[in-house]
Amino acid sequence: MRLVAAHELRVFNLDPVVGVDHSPDIDYAGDGDPSHRLDVLAPSVRPEHDRGGADLPVYVYFHGGGWTSGDKAALTKYCASQSIGGMVVVNANYRPATRAHMGEILEDAAAVLAWVTANIASYGGDPDRIVLGGDSAGGHIAALLTATSLSPELARHHGLRRVPERHRLKGLVQHCSVVDFSVVFDRDSVLSLSFVRMLLPRSRRTPPRTVGGGASLGWLRREARYLSPIEWLHPAFPPVLVTTSERDYFYRANLNFIERLRSHRIPVDAIVYERSVRNAVHTWQQDARHAESQAVYRRLHRFVHAVTGQLRVQAPAS
Class of domain 6-307: alpha beta
The distance in angstroms from the start CA to the end CA of the chain is 39
User: In the chain, what are the domain boundaries?
Assistant: 6-307
For residue 238, CA distances in Å to 107, 173, 176, 195 come to 20, 10, 18, 28
Residues whose CB falls within 8 Å of the CB of residue 188, separated by 6 or more in sequence, listed in order: none
User: Per-residue confidence of the chain (318 residues) as pLDDT tens digits?
Assistant: 344 555 656 666 777 788 999 999 999 999 999 999 999 999 998 665 544 567 999 999 999 999 999 999 999 999 999 999 999 999 999 999 999 999 999 999 999 999 999 999 999 999 999 999 999 999 999 999 999 999 999 999 999 999 999 999 999 999 999 999 999 999 889 888 999 999 999 888 887 765 554 556 788 999 999 999 999 999 999 999 999 999 999 999 999 999 999 999 999 999 999 999 999 999 999 999 999 999 999 999 999 999 999 654 343 444
Residues whose CB falls within 8 Å of the CB of residue 107, separated by 6 or more in sequence, listed in order: 159, 160, 161, 162
Give the separation between CA 190 and CA 249, rounded to whole angstroms: 7
Give the separation between CA 133 and CA 228, rounded to whole angstroms: 16
> Which pLDDT value is given to residue 310?
67
30 conformational bin, left if phi > 0, alpha if psi -120 to 50, beta if neither: left
Beta bridge partners of 90: 40, 60
CA 34 to chain centre: 20
DSSP letter for 188, please.
Answer: T
**Strand, coil or helix: 86:** coil
For residue 173, CA distances in Å to 23, 41, 150 come to 23, 18, 17
> Which pLDDT value is given to residue 207?
78
Residue 16 has a CB neighbour count (10 Å cut-off) of 10
Nearest of 65, 87, 66, 91 to residue 77 by alpha carbon: 91
pTM: 0.91
Beta bridge partners of 61: 91, 133
> Which pLDDT value is given to residue 52?
54
> Which pLDDT value is given to residue 317?
43
Give the separation between CA 38 and CA 294, rounded to whole angstroms: 24
Check if the beta carbon of residue 45 is closer than 8 Å to that of residue 83: no
